[in-house]
Structure 1
Amino acid sequence: MPRVKVSVIVPVYNTGKYVDECAPSLLGQSLPDDEYEVIYVDDGSTDDTLTRLEKLAAGHPNVRVHTQPNSGWPGAPRNVGMEHAKGEYVQFVDHDDMLGTEALERLYEHATRNRADVVIGKMSSTMVRPRRLFRQTVDACTIENDELMQSMSPHKMFRRAFVEEHGLRFPEGPWIMEDLAFVSAAYLKAERIAILADYPCYYWMKRDDGGNNTRHRFNPRHGFWPNLRTIVRQFKDGTTASDDVDALQNRLLHRLYHVEVLSRAREPEILREDPAEQRQRFAMARQVALEEFPAAVRRGLPAVSGLRAELLERGDFDGAFAFAEHIRGVKARTELGAPRWEDGCLVADITLELLRGDGEPLLLTERDGKWWLDPELLTGVSGTKDGWEVGDPFRMAYAEVVVKDRDREDWWYPEGDLEVALRPVGEGRSRLVASGRLRLDPQRLAGDRPLGRGVYDVWAFVNLLGIDRMVRVTGHDVSNEPAAAPAVTGGRLALPYWTTGVGQLTLDVDQRLRRLGPDTAGAAAANAERGERSLPLPYVVAEPGVPAPLKVTVSALKVTAELVPAADGSTVRLRLPARLKLPAGRHPVTLPKADAPVAHAVVRDGALLRLEGPAYEAGTGRRLLDAVAGNRQVRRVRRRLGRSG
C-alpha cells in the first residue's frame, strides 16, 4: 500500500458553505488519492459543518474527520490534526482557502528533492500585495534569509519528523498570533527551508462576510501584547544580540517592529480607529517598543519609519497623527515610455517616484553635507522644526514591476530589476526615483512557463524612505486603445492595450477579452503576387514560432484562419484554409467585431486561389494605404505605431 506523503490539516468551526467551496481544491489534487490524506478537525461547530464534513468523508476514503470541544482558536485543532497525521509532510490549510491543483505534488517533490524541513509555496491572495519572497524558487536556505519574515502564516508544508523532533506545537486557546509563534519557532530550528515560487500553491481568499480579515484579529483582550513579547523573546533566544543594524537578530525583529508595533503609529490605523482606543494602543506599543526591541532595530529603519519610531518612543500621539495625515496623501507615479516588442518581449522604459499630497514630487534637500526630509511632510509635527535627517536615502529602498493575472489572482514577476537613484532638480534638492526596463515575456513570465489564456494587468510596487505604494502602470491620456502592436507568441495572440478609464497597461493573451481588429491592427497590404494564398499584415510584430489560430468571416462563412509568423519575426501572414465552401468569386474577409474587410479571398471550384488586399485592383497592385491615406483612423494607427507617412 502506498505510503502517505502529505497530510492536509484543516481546522474548522461553523464554516458552513465554505467547507464545500474549499473541498474540491483539496480532493482534486494531482497527487494520487492514496498518497495524501485530508484531516478535518471540527472545533465544536454549532451549525451544519460537521454534517457537511461527514458527507465528504463518506464519499472519499482519504478524508478523515475528528471532533473536539470548542477551543475558540485554530491552534488546538491544528495540534489535534498533527497528532493523527500519517504523512511524511503536513500541510496546513484554512477552511475558506484553496490549493492549486498541483500544489501537493509540486511541494512534496520540492521538499524531498531538497531534504527540506519547511517548504513555502507561492501564495496568491485577494487581500494582500505580492511578496518579494516569491520572485524566484529557492532550493534551500535558512533563517539567514530574512525575506522569510514576509511569510509568517502557517499555510506551509512541514516535515512531520522535524515537527515532532523539536516538539513544535501551536499555542492553544484564544491566542492571537499563534501562527507567528509556530512559524517563527520552525524557521529558527529548520536546517533547510525551501521556497516554491514558480507555481501558485495556496490561494488565500477574502470571504464574503469578512470573517478572515486579519484586521479584526487585533484584540488586546486576547493577549496581543504579551503574545508579541513572547514571540520577540523567541527570536532573541534563537539569535545573537548585536548593535549592528544589519545583524541577523535585528533584521528578523524589524518585521515584528514594523508590522505589529509601528502600525499603531501610522496610517491607516492611527487615522481610522477611534482616537481614544488608538491612544491606548499607541501607549502599549510604545512600552513594548522600549522594553523589548533593541535600539539597533529602530536605528536601522528608513527615514519616514524612523521618524514614526521617534514619535512613538516620545509618546507624541498628536505628532504621529499629523505625520500620518501627510504620509497618507503621498502617491506613487509611473512614467512609461512607448511599449514595443523586442525579441518576443513587450518592453518599455519605466520610472517611478513619490508625489506629495499636493501633487508635487517628494524632494530631499541637501544641507551641511546631509540629506533632509521634504519639509512639507513635517508641518505640525513637533520636534522637527530643524528638519528630519535622512541618514541613508537608499535604506531598504526598492521598486519592482509585478503582473497580475486578473482571472486567477496570481502575481508574476518580470525579468530585471529597477534601480533607485537621486536625481538633482536644482537648489540643493533631489528626487528619489526608481527606473529601469519593463520586460514582459509571455512565454516565460508564469514561473518560466507561458502565460495562460487571460488578461494580465501591469503594476509596480515602490518602497522609498519607508513609504510603500502599489501603483498601476499607466499611459498618458490613453484609454481602451492599443498600447503596442499585437504579437504572435507561442502560437497565440498577445494584444497589449490600455484599459478603459485608468489607462493601465494590460496584456490580453489568446483573445480573452480583446479581439484582433481595426482597433488593434492595421489593414492587410495588397497582394500583388497572383497565386499567394496568404496575405501580410504589416502592423503585427511577432516572434518566430508556431502559427496562431484566428477566427475570421469569409462572406457569411466563419472559418479558422492562421497568423503565420515570418522567419525573421518582423511580421505575420494571414493564411486561410485551402478549401472553402463558397461559390466562385471574390469574397470579403473580416476580423471579429470589424466591419471593413481586411482582405478578399478569390475562390474557384471551392478552392482558395489567392488572398488580395481590400484595395487591390487587378493589374495595378495598389496598396490599401495608398487608397485610404487620408482616413483618420489609419492616420491614428500609423501614429501609434510610429509609422511615417
Structure 2
Amino acid sequence: MPRVKVSVIVPVYNTGKYVDECAPSLLGQSLPADEYEVIYVDDGSTDDTLSRLEKIAADAPNVQVHTQPNSGWPGAPRNLGMKHAKGEYIQFVDHDDTLGPEALERLYEHAKRNDADVVLGKMSSTMVRPRRLFRHTVDACTIENDELTQSMSPHKMFRRAFVEEHGLRFPEGPWILEDLAFVSAAYLKAERISILADYPVYYWMKRDDGGNNTQHRFNPKHGFWPNTRTIVRQIKDGTPASDDIDALQNRLLHRLYHVEILSRTREPEILCEDPAEQRQRFEAAREVAREEFPAAVREGLPAVSRLRAELLEAGDFDGAVTLAERIREVKPRSQVSDLRWADGRLVADVTLDLLRGDGEPLVLVERDGKQYLDPELLDGVPGTEDGWEVPDPFRLAYAELVVKDRDREDWWYPEGDLEVRLKPLGDGRSQVIATGQLALDPERLAGGQPLERGVHDVWAYVQLLGVDRMVRVTGADSTNTPASTPASTGGRLALPYWTIKGQLALDIDQRQRKLGPDTTTAATANSERSEGSSLPLPYVAAAPDATPVRVKVTVATLTVTAELLPTPDAPTAQLRLPARLKLPSGRHPVTLPKTAGPLAYAVVRDGTVLRLEGPAYEAGSGRRLLDSVGDNRQVRRVRRKLGL
C-alpha cells in the first residue's frame, strides 16, 4: 500500500455549502488518491455541516471526519487533525478555500527535492494584495529571509516530523492570531524553507457573506493585545537582540509593529471606527508598543510610518487622526510611454509616483543639507512645525509591476525591476519616484508557462516614504481603445488595450476584445501587394518563431479561416488565405467581423487566390483590365501563355 505523502487538515464549523464548494478541489488532486488523505475536523457545528462531511467521506476512501465539542476557534481542530495525520507532510486548508488541481503534487515534490521543513505555495486571493514573496520560486532559505513574514497564514505545507520534533501546536480556544503564533514558531525553528511561486496552489477568496474577511477578526475580547505580546516575545526569544535597525530581530518585529500596532493609528481604521472605541485601541496599541518593541524597530521605519509611531507613543490621538486624513488623500500615479512589441514581449517605460490630495507631487524639501517631508502634507500635524526629517528617503521603499488574470484571480510578475530614485524638481525640492520597464511575455509570464486565455490587467504596487498603494497602470487619457498593435503569440492573438478605466490590459485569444475595427486602423496604410495568398500586415506584431494564429475573415460573402504567420526577417505578421476559394473571379474585399473597412483585397481567378492586395494598393490600368475580364476564356489562355 502506498505511503501517505500528504495529510490535508481542514477545520470546519457551521460551514454549510462552502464544504461542498471546497471538497472538489481537495478530492480532484493530481496526486493519486491513495497517496494523500483529507482530514475534516468538525468543531461542534450546529447546522448541517457534519452530515455534508459524512456524505463526502462515504464516497471517498481517503477522507476521514472527526468531531469535537465546540472550541470557538480553528486552533483545537487543527491540533486534533495533526494527531490523526499519517502523511509525511501536513497541508492546512480552510473550509471555504480551494486548492489548484496540482497543488499537493507540486508542493510535495518541491518539499522532497529540497528537504524542506516548510513550503510556502503561491496564493491567489481577493482578500489581500499580491505578495512579492511569491515573485520567484526559492529552493531553500531560512528566517533570515524576512520577506517570509509577508505570509503568516497557516495555509502551508509542513513536514510532520519537524512539527512533532519541535512540539508545534496552535493555541486553542478563542485565541486570535493563533496562525501567527504557529507560523512564526515554525519559521524560527525551520532549517530549510522553500517557496513555490510558479504555480497558484491556494485560492483564498472572499466569501459571499464576508464570513472569512480578516478585518472582522480584530477583537480585544479574544486576547488580541496579550496574544500580540506573546508573539513578540516568541520572536525576541528566538533571535539575538541588537540596536542595529537592520538586525534580524528588528526586521521580523517590523511586520508585527506595522500591521498589528500602527493599523490602530492609520487610515482607514482610525477614520472609520467609533472614535471612543478607537481611542481605546489607540491607547492599548501605545502600551504594547512602548513596552514590547525595541526602539530600533521604530527607528527603522520609513518617514510617514515613523511619524505615525511618534504620534502613537506620545499619546497624540488627534494628531494621528490629522495625519491619517492627510495620508488618505495621497494618490498614486502611473505614466506609460513607448508601448510596443519587441521580441514577443509587450514592453513600455513606466514611471510611478505619489501625489498629494491637491494633485501636486508629494515632495521632499532640502534645508541645511537635510531632507524634510513635504510641509504641505504635514500642515496642522502636531510635532512637525519645524519639519519632519527624512534621514533615508529610500528606507524600505520599493515598487513592482504585477499582472492579474481577471478570470482566475492569479497574480504574475513580469520581467525586470523598478528602480526607486530621487527626481530633482528645482528650488531644493525633489520627489521619490520609481521607474523601469514593463516586459510582459505572454508565453512565459505564468510561472514560465503561457498566460491562460482571458483578460490580464497590469497593476503596480508602490511603497514610498511609508505610503503604500496599488495603482492601475494607465495611459494618457486613453479609455476603451487599443493600446498597441495586436500580436501573434503562441498560436493566439494578444490584444493590448486600455480599459474603460484607462488601465492597460492584455486580452489573450480574443476573450473580450476581437481583431476588428478598433485594432485594424493601421490597415489603411498598407499599400503592399503580395503574389499568392499571403500579405504582410505591419499592424500585427509577431516574433520570428511565432506559431500561426487562426482567425475568421470574410472574403466577399464567404467566411473562411485564415492564418496570421510571422514575416521572415521582420517583426510583423502576414495574412494567409486558403489557396482556393469558392468565389467568382474578381477582386473581393477581405474583412474581419464587425469591421467597416477592408483588411485587404483578394484577387481570385477560377477559384484560385492569385494575390492579396492592401486596401490602399492601386493596380495599373492594364492589370485592372485583365482583372475585369478575367472570366473570359481567351484572356485566360493568353495569361497562361504569358505566365500571368
Shift of 1:523: 2.2
Shift of 1:584: 4.7
> Counterpart in 2 of 1:130?
130
Deviates more, 1:379-388 or 1:158-167: 379-388
Deviates more, 1:612-621 or 1:77-86: 612-621
Q: Are 1:235 and 1:253, in contact at CA under 8 Å, matched by a contact in 2?
A: yes
Shift of 1:622: 11
> Counterpart in 2 of 1:255?
255
> Counterpart in 2 of 1:629?
none
| Change beyond 3 A, Cα 1:526–1:384 | closer
Amino acid aligned to 1:593:
K
> Counterpart in 2 of 1:332?
332
| Distance in 2, Cα, partners of 1:554 & 1:44 | 68
Q: Are 2:554 and 2:560, in contact at CA under 8 Å, matched by a contact in 1?
A: yes
What is the number of residues matched between the two proteins? 621
User: Any unmatched runs of 5+ in structure 2?
Assistant: 625-644
| Distance in 1, Cα, partners of 2:588 & 2:22 | 52
Residue deviations 1:380-414, cap 9 Å, x none? 22222111111111100111111111111011111
| Change beyond 3 A, Cα 1:332–1:529 | closer
| Distance in 1, Cα, partners of 2:103 & 2:530 | 54
Q: Are 1:515 and 1:593, in contact at CA under 8 Å, matched by a contact in 2?
A: no
- Aligned pairs for 1:76-475 within 5 A: 76-475=76-475
Amino acid aligned to 1:87:
G
Q: Secondary structure at the match of 2:481?
A: coil
| Distance in 2, Cα, partners of 1:180 & 1:518 | 53
| Distance in 2, Cα, partners of 1:268 & 1:464 | 18
1:517 aligns with 2:519: no
Residue deviations 1:355-401, cap 9 Å, x none? 11111101111111111111112222222211111111110011111
| Distance in 2, Cα, partners of 1:348 & 1:242 | 43
Amino acid aligned to 2:116:
A
1:546 aligns with 2:547: yes
Amino acid aligned to 2:220:
P
Amino acid aligned to 2:517:
P
Q: Secondary structure at the match of 2:227?
A: helix
> Counterpart in 2 of 1:635?
none
Give the superposed CA RMSD. 1.6
Q: Are 1:553 and 1:559, in contact at CA under 8 Å, matched by a contact in 2?
A: yes
Q: Are 1:420 and 1:433, in contact at CA under 8 Å, matched by a contact in 2?
A: yes
1:14 aligns with 2:14: yes
| Change beyond 3 A, Cα 1:350–1:622 | farther
Q: Are 1:372 and 1:389, in contact at CA under 8 Å, matched by a contact in 2?
A: yes
Q: Are 2:530 and 2:612, in contact at CA under 8 Å, matched by a contact in 1?
A: no
TM superposition score normalised by structure 1: 0.94
> Counterpart in 2 of 1:578?
579
Shift of 1:601: 3.1
| Change beyond 3 A, Cα 1:622–1:330 | farther
Amino acid aligned to 1:246:
D
| Change beyond 3 A, Cα 1:527–1:325 | closer
Residue deviations 1:289-340, cap 9 Å, x none? 0110001100100110001000000000001010110000001111111301
- Aligned pairs for 1:621-632 within 5 A: none
Residue deviations 1:514-539, cap 9 Å, x none? 11123112227356444x11112122
Residue deviations 1:169-224, cap 9 Å, x none? 11111000000000001000100000001111111000010001111100000000
Residue deviations 1:523-565, cap 9 Å, x none? 27356444x1111212212112211111222333332211001
> Counterpart in 1 of 2:638?
none
Residue deviations 1:105-151, cap 9 Å, x none? 11111000000000000011012111010110000000000000000
| Distance in 2, Cα, partners of 1:379 & 1:568 | 60
| Distance in 2, Cα, partners of 1:621 & 1:568 | 33
Shift of 1:37: 1.2
Amino acid aligned to 1:597:
P
| Distance in 2, Cα, partners of 1:574 & 1:457 | 28
Deviates more, 1:366-375 or 1:245-254: 366-375
Shift of 1:425: 1.3
Amino acid aligned to 1:552:
V
> Counterpart in 1 of 2:499?
499
> Counterpart in 1 of 2:73?
73
Q: Secondary structure at the match of 2:58?
A: helix
Q: Secondary structure at the match of 1:201?
A: strand
Shift of 1:603: 4.0
Amino acid aligned to 1:345:
R
| Distance in 1, Cα, partners of 2:457 & 2:307 | 35
Shift of 1:606: 4.5
| Change beyond 3 A, Cα 1:569–1:31 | farther
Q: Are 1:261 and 1:285, in contact at CA under 8 Å, matched by a contact in 2?
A: yes
> Counterpart in 2 of 1:590?
591
| Distance in 2, Cα, partners of 1:244 & 1:100 | 42
1:45 aligns with 2:25: no
Q: Are 2:265 and 2:321, in contact at CA under 8 Å, matched by a contact in 1?
A: yes
Amino acid aligned to 1:574:
L
Q: Are 1:615 and 1:622, in contact at CA under 8 Å, matched by a contact in 2?
A: no
> Counterpart in 2 of 1:562?
563
TM superposition score normalised by structure 2: 0.94
Amino acid aligned to 1:484:
S
Q: Are 1:6 and 1:35, in contact at CA under 8 Å, matched by a contact in 2?
A: yes
Shift of 1:64: 1.2
> Counterpart in 2 of 1:599?
600
| Distance in 1, Cα, partners of 2:389 & 2:616 | 68
> Counterpart in 2 of 1:626?
none
Q: Are 2:542 and 2:565, in contact at CA under 8 Å, matched by a contact in 1?
A: no
Shift of 1:577: 2.3
Q: Secondary structure at the match of 1:337?
A: strand
| Change beyond 3 A, Cα 1:55–1:558 | farther
Residue deviations 1:407-431, cap 9 Å, x none? 1101111111111111221221111
| Distance in 1, Cα, partners of 2:318 & 2:7 | 51
| Distance in 1, Cα, partners of 2:110 & 2:570 | 37
| Distance in 1, Cα, partners of 2:568 & 2:3 | 51
| Distance in 1, Cα, partners of 2:601 & 2:622 | 14
Q: Are 2:529 and 2:535, in contact at CA under 8 Å, matched by a contact in 1?
A: no
Amino acid aligned to 1:44:
G
| Change beyond 3 A, Cα 1:166–1:572 | same
Q: Secondary structure at the match of 2:225?
A: helix
Shift of 1:608: 3.6
Deviates more, 1:611-620 or 1:100-109: 611-620
Q: Secondary structure at the match of 1:375?
A: coil
Shift of 1:347: 1.1
Deviates more, 1:568-577 or 1:281-290: 568-577
Q: Are 1:499 and 1:505, in contact at CA under 8 Å, matched by a contact in 2?
A: yes
Amino acid aligned to 2:511:
R
| Distance in 2, Cα, partners of 1:379 & 1:590 | 61
Residue deviations 1:564-606, cap 9 Å, x none? 0112242111112234344555443221221322123344554
Shift of 1:48: 1.0
Shift of 1:38: 1.1
Q: Are 2:100 and 2:200, in contact at CA under 8 Å, matched by a contact in 1?
A: yes
